[in-house]
Structure 1
């Protein structure tokens, strides 16, 4: 199975599909399966349930002989327990293989963006220390990161004021367009 040069979001889907094909043909799991990449692919697309299911199906012999698979699952465990800082610790706490480094870097980037969006929607102010934990950065790097996004830092109080994203108003759809769409769908069904 060739995984090079594919968008990261397709890794989990491709791995799951290939794994189903292999098992449906009566072929057992093999030690060469890219379990770490498969797990990371599910985590990348924010599908922790599929990652957990995959982890449960991985043979014990693989878990015992492939520490990178265990390291990938450690990230999943941190996600499931909402240990935000622990996710970054799990990422940095393992010396990833060359084949897995790009996937880990891509996951780390998308995870940081998710955390930034979470902070933006959940907080109006946050301490620089907590900000750094959520973003997996040093306090200086986290401060620089959010200032670039328009947040305001008060170094005296060590607090950051979150810049809320402007909400876009939904465009109202003309009822005549909805009627035509409904008629078209009805025509297709009959």
Structure 2
């Protein structure tokens, strides 16, 4: 293998999903092989790591660097790229089926599960800050939840269903100062769920950025 698989496995097993993409970026940069993105490289996990971190431009640059032959031979990478496209285009109705619509490998499945949990939790926070009332149908779409799943999620947030209007009365939760910076970061990944303005997208600097420009 041309990457530190033991470190990658440790990051996934220990739930340090935010470390996956930076670690693989560094491994790619340090490789002396200009064709390092071979079928042996965990490209789908690499791409999902960028999506998890909300660094969608980095994910797009990674996709551009992958040789066409590798793309054609990797169904999981294609599924990860479709997820990136939906995230980039703010196609919130399709994002949830895409998360569960592929038979992900064990490692990718752990990243997908973490991404699902992260999106669900912070989409709830964003809905609580963005709506005063919301219909169960719309909330279910935005949260990728079934009717069975929606009720406990709403109760968790303190939402009350008005028996007359059949609308949820949304209660905004207070965000602790210690969590505010993290919430701001996570909003960059979740904003497409509720049609908020898109934040500026971060682009890596240094050698990797130079390589992207050369290949673009």
Q: Specify the TM-score bucket, using the shorter chain as the normaliser.
A: 0.7 to 0.9
- Please say if 1:153 is aligned against 2:161: yes
Counterpart mapping for 1:133-172 below 5 A: 133-166=141-174
Structure scoring higher RCO (CA < 8 A, sep ≥ 6) equals 2
Unaligned runs of 5+ in 1: 170-190
Higher CA-based Rg: 1
CA 168–18 in structure 1, closer or farther in 2 if over 3 Å, else same: closer
The 8 Å contact of residues 125 and 173 in structure 2, kept in 1 or not, is answered as no
When normalised by structure 1's length, the TM-score is 0.82
- Aligned position for 1:174: none
| Cα distance between partner residues in 2 of 1:162 and 1:80 | 27
Counterpart mapping for 1:1-190 below 5 A: 1-2=4-5, 3-6=8-11, 7-22=16-31, 25-28=32-35, 29-166=37-174
In angstroms, what is the RMSD of aligned CA positions?
1.8
Unaligned runs of 5+ in 2: 178-216
The 8 Å contact of residues 131 and 139 in structure 1, kept in 2 or not, is answered as no
| 1:43-84 per-position Cα deviation (integer Å, ceiling 9, x unaligned) | 111111111111111111111110000101111111111111
Aligned residue pairs: how many? 168
When normalised by structure 2's length, the TM-score is 0.72
CA 99–156 in structure 1, closer or farther in 2 if over 3 Å, else same: same
| 1:114-141 per-position Cα deviation (integer Å, ceiling 9, x unaligned) | 2112211211111101111111110231
